[in-house]
Amino acid sequence: MVFCLDAAHRATLALLAALVCILAPTAISIGGHLYLLYADESGSPTDANQQHFVLAGISVFERKAHWLSLEVEKIAERFCPSDPLSVELHGNPMLAGRGFWRKIPMVDRLNAIKDALRLIDGKHYRVFASVVGKSAISPDDPIRSTFQQMISRFDHFLAREHTHFNNTQRGLILFDKSSKDTSARNIIQINSTGYGGRNESYRGHPL
């Protein structure tokens, strides 16, 4: 599938933001072993100047999350060796050179973005993404639509692991808490009403 520049750009930003979530401390007690899906969004559902809304996430088996976070931390260390966790690898300010990134050369910023995305090898870590053209689904809510698609695909992935590989695992979806708690409200609503699928293999939790 070929996306236009706006959609591809937003998908990249959402994936990078999801990687940042892996570095965030998670105040959740996780029992047993499961797949974690770190997810974040890119775009505004109400801004008429933005054609697309994107929700993207990275699925990591729980025992591998620590090692992935160490690799992301190594990239952050390039810019602040004494305190890499203070460096936020957020796509928009990195691309625009805003704030902390203002004095960092563009080539270094772009290399950091590329290196972070290269960590997603498709073997140990899987990408889930939903890209919607807002005009195509109007008047439906693009946030709810992308959440439904992502949750459905994550649940199908868990079902395939169980059916074809005898690998029965649960799933936990970790969302970045948006400024207006839109993500949390949609998680609660979809968990309660379902999305047209089984809705039985995962739980959602805002960070």
Residue-wise pLDDT for 140-159, tens only, equals 888 888 888 988 999 999 99
* Contacts (Cβ under 8 Å, ≥6 apart) of 25: none
Q: Which amino acid is at 81?
A: P
Of 177, 181, 175, the C-alpha closest to 154 is 175
Question: Could you read off the pLDDT tens digit of each residue along the chain, which spans 207 residues?
Answer: 333 445 566 666 666 666 666 555 444 444 557 898 988 888 888 888 888 888 888 898 988 888 888 898 999 999 999 999 899 888 888 988 999 999 999 999 999 998 988 888 767 788 898 888 888 888 888 888 888 898 899 999 999 999 998 888 888 888 766 544 455 455 545 554 444 445 455 555 555
Per-residue model confidence as pLDDT tens digits over 100-126 = 999 999 999 999 998 988 888 767 788
Residue 180's H or E segment, with its range, is none
Looking at domain 5-206, its CATH architecture is: 2-Layer Sandwich (3.30)
Region of 43 on the Ramachandran plot (φ > 0 left; ψ -120 to 50 alpha; else beta): left
Closest CA to 120 of 181, 172, 57: 57
HSE value, Cβ hemisphere, 13 Å, CA-based, for 191: 14
Whole-number Å distance between alpha carbons of 39 and 56: 6
Model-level pTM greater than 0.85? no
Which amino acid is residue 114, in one-letter code? K
